Amino acid sequence: MTLTTATAAANGADYAATASQAYQAALSVIEQVEPRIAEATRQELADQRSSLKLIASENYASPAVLLTMGSWFSDKYAEGTVGHRFYAACQNVDTVEAIAAEHARELFGAEYAYVQPHSGIDANLVAFWAILANRVELPELAEVGVKGINDLSEEQWESLRHKFGHQRALGMSLDAGGHLTHGFRPNISGKMFHQRSYGTDPTTQLIDYDQVRAAAREFKPLVLIAGYSAYPRRVNFAKMREIADEVGATFMVDMAHFAGLVAGKVFTGEEDPVPYAHIVTSTTHKSLRGPRGGLVLATKEYADSVDRGCPMVLGGPMAHVMAAKAVALAEARTTGFQTYAQQVADNAKALAEGFTRRGATLVTGGTDNHLVLLDVSGYGLTGRQAESALLDAGIVSNRNAVPSDPNGAWYTSGVRLGTPALTTRGFGADEFDRVAELAVDVLSGTTPATASNGKPGKARYVLADGLADRTKAACAELLADFPLYPGLQL
Ligand SMILES: *Cc1c(COP(=O)(O)O)cnc(C)c1O
C-alpha cells in the first residue's frame, strides 16, 4: 500500500468495519482466559469515548497502530541492532526495525534514527549516554591505548566512571515547562549530571535567548538541552544551536511533546529541531499519535553511540511496538497527518483566544503550539483545586506549575490543556472555543474550601450547585458529534 492510500483506507468504512471485527474477536479470545481484563478493556474504551480529554500528552492511536502491537513479535528477543543481533532468528525483527527507522529518517529528514527506546525517558537515557560515550569515553580510551572498556584496568575504569559522573547539562527549568528527565534531581538524569537550568523572562514568560547564552557561557555545559512539556510556545532551535556551538556543547532537543507538529510540518525552518540538533529524542505516543514508545534521531557523528543504546541502557527491544511505530510513522508521512497537525495548532489558538476573551490568564499570553497553560490564581484556586473541579465537571486536564509558582510543583497555580487528542476526534476551532467557555464557567463557579485544620485549603473546593452535572451534560453533547473510533462497534 502506498502512503497516500494509507490514509484513504484509514478513513474508509471497510477499514472501520474490519477493525471492529478484529477487536470483537480479540476481546472474545481474552474473555475465555480472564474475563475481567476483557471487561476493563471495554470499559476503558467507553470511558475514553465519553471523556473530554485535554491532557496535552495524550492522543488516540489508530486501530492499525493498536492492532499491530498485539502480535507474536512480542515473543521475540532481539538485543543488538539490525543485522547484528545477540539472538538467533531475528530476520523479521530486522525487517520491522529497518522499516520503522527508514520512516523516521524520511519523515523527519534525519541522518540516523533509532527506534528501540521503550519510552521518552529511555530515549533520553540513550541520548545522554551516547553523548557521554562520544565526548568522554573515546578520547580517554585512546589516551590509555586500549581498544574497549573491557580492556581497562580497574583503576582506569574508576577514573572513567568519575569522569562520566561529573559532566554538566543545562536544560529548561521545571516551572518554565522543562522536563524532569533533563537533569533534575528526582530523576536519574539529575544524579548523572551536574545540572543547571534556564528559565523564562519574568515579564514575557518567553525563553530569553540572551539569558540562555549567559548561563551557557558561565556554566559551560557538555550538553545543552531544549524541549519542554508545558511551554506553550515555539523554540528557535537555530539560536539554541548557536549558543551550544559557542560553548562547545552538544545540542540535544527533546521533542516528546511536539513531535507531531514537526512531523506534520507545522514547525519548519528554525522551529524544526532536526537540522540544528546533534541529537533529537521523542516519545511516539503524544502528538505523534503512535504506540507508547520513544525514538532518537541523530547526526552521523552520534549514530554509532546511539546504536549502542542496547546494551547501554536498554534490554531487548519491543519488536511488536517497533512494528506499531513503523505503522504510525507511515501514517505521519501522509498529507492527512499534516492537515491534522495544522489543525492541532489552529485549535490551540482558538482555545487560547476563547480563554483570553473570557478574562482568563494564560502563561505567555497565548500559544503557538499544541497546548495552553492557564494560570488559575485569578480564580482564587490552586492548580490542584482547578484540576479536580474541572474533572468533576467532565473536563480532563492536568495541573502544572507556572513560572516561579508560589504553590510549588504539587499544588501548583496552573492547569495545562492540549489539543492533540480532541483534534484526532475531529474537534475544530468552534468546539475548542466551547471548551474554553465550559472551563471558564467551572473555574468561576468554584470556590476554595477551608482545610480540616482551618487553614485556607490548597486541595479542597466547592462547585456551585448543579454546575458539575450541567457541564458534564454539555461535554457529552459536544462529544456526541465526534465519536471516537467511529464504526468500531464495541
Ligand atoms: C513525556 C515526556 C517524556 C517522557 O516520556 P515517557 O514516555 O513518559 O517516558 C520525556 N520528555 C518530555 C519533554 C516529555 O514531555
Residue 451 is predicted with a pLDDT of 76
Going by C-alpha positions, the residue among 411, 417, 395, 374 that lies closest to residue 58 is 417
Residue with CA at minimum distance from ligand 1 atom 4: 120
268 and 358 in a single domain? The answer is: no
- Give yes or no for residue 227 CB within 6 A of ligand 1: yes
pLDDT in tens, 463-474: 999 999 999 999
- Structural domain contains residue 420: yes
* Residue whose CA lies nearest to ligand 1 atom number 15: 229
Closest to 422 in 3D by CA, of 348, 357, 333: 348
For the annotated catalytic residues, the residue numbers are: 77, 79, 254, 283, 286, 292
- 259 within ligand 1 shell (Cβ under 6 A): no
Looking at 302, 332, 362, the residue that finishes a domain is 332
CA of 481 from ligand 1 middle (Å) equals 31
Annotated binding site: 174, 178-180
Structural domain of 144: 74-332
DSSP category for residue 464? P
Residues 111 and 260 in one domain: yes
Within 10 Å of residue 264's Cβ, how many Cβ atoms? Answer: 26
Instruction: Residue 295: name the closest of 90, 92, 121, 78 by CA.
Output: 121
Give the mutation target among 229, 255, 318 for probing the ligand 1 site: most ligand atoms within 8 A of CB: 229
Whether residue 9 is contained in a domain is answered as no
57, part of any domain:
no
Gap between the Cα atoms of 224 and 220, Å rounded = 9
Query: Which three cell numbers mark 39?
Result: 471487561
> Which one of 181, 189, 285 would you pick to mutate in the ligand 1 pocket, going by the greatest count of ligand atoms within 8 A of its CB?
181
Domain count, the chain: 2
Instruction: Take atom 12 of ligand 1 and give the residue whose Cα is closest.
Output: 256
Is 113 a member of any domain? yes
Note the pLDDT of residue 458. 87
Q: Clarify whether residues 308 and 341 are in a common domain.
A: no
Q: Which atom of ligand 1 is nearest to the CA of 293?
A: 7
pLDDT along the chain (490 residues), means of 10: 47 84 95 98 96 97 97 96 93 98 98 98 97 82 82 87 89 94 92 94 97 98 98 98 98 98 98 98 98 98 95 95 98 98 98 98 98 97 97 97 94 97 98 98 94 79 96 97 91
Select from 332, 349, 375 the last residue of a domain: 332
Closest approach atom of ligand 1 to CA 228: 13
> What pLDDT is stored for residue 148 in this prediction?
82
C-alpha cell read off for 189: 538524569
* Pair 307, 389 in one domain: no
Say yes or no: 420 and 434 in one domain. Answer: yes
| Residue 22 counted as domain residue | no
Q: Is 88 exposed, middle or buried (0-12, 13-18, 19+ CB in 10 A)?
A: exposed
Distance 129 CA to ligand 1 centre (A): 17
SS3 state of residue 162: helix
Same domain, 328 and 360: no
pLDDT in tens, 90-140: 999 999 999 999 999 999 999 999 999 999 999 999 999 999 989 987 677
Determine the pLDDT at residue 156. 85
CA of 296 to the centre of ligand 1 (A): 13
The C-alpha angle 477, 483, 486, rounded to 5 degrees, equals: 155
pLDDT of the residue at 249: 98
**At what angle are helices 13-31 and 3-11 packed, to 10 degrees?**
70
Judge if 361 and 324 occupy the same domain: no
So what's the pLDDT on residue 4?
46
Are residues 461 and 322 both part of a single domain? Answer: no
Residues 319 and 339 placed together within one structural domain of the fold: no
Task: State how far the alpha carbon of 109 is from the alpha carbons of 252, 270, 273, 345, in Å.
Answer: 16, 14, 11, 22
What's the gap in Å between 158 CA and the centre of ligand 1? 32
Q: Tell me, yes or no, whether 320 and 370 share the same domain.
A: no
Whether 316 and 367 map to the same domain: the answer is: no
| Whole-angstrom distance, CA of residue 221 vs CA of residue 196 | 9
Buried/exposed 337-357: b ≥16 CB within 10 Å, e otherwise: beebbebbbbbbbbbbbbbee
Residue whose Cα lies nearest atom 6 of ligand 1: it is 120
- Whole-number pLDDT of residue 11: 61
Enter the C-alpha cell of residue 288.
Answer: 505523534
Task: Please identify which residue in the block is written with the cell numbers 569515553.
Answer: 137
Same domain, 283 and 149: yes
Burial 395-408 (b: 16+ CB within 10 A, else e): bbbbbbbbbebebe
Check if the beta carbon of residue 407 is closer than 8 Å to that of residue 458.
Answer: yes
Centroid of ligand 1 to alpha carbon of 71 (angstroms): 26
Q: What CATH number corresponds to the domain at position 308?
A: 3.40.640.10
- Which of the listed residues 332, 364, 388 is the one where a domain comes to its end? 332
Domain assignment present for 61:
no
Amino acid (1-letter code) at residue 114? Y
| Residue 454 covered by a domain | yes
| CATH code at position 347 | 3.90.1150.10
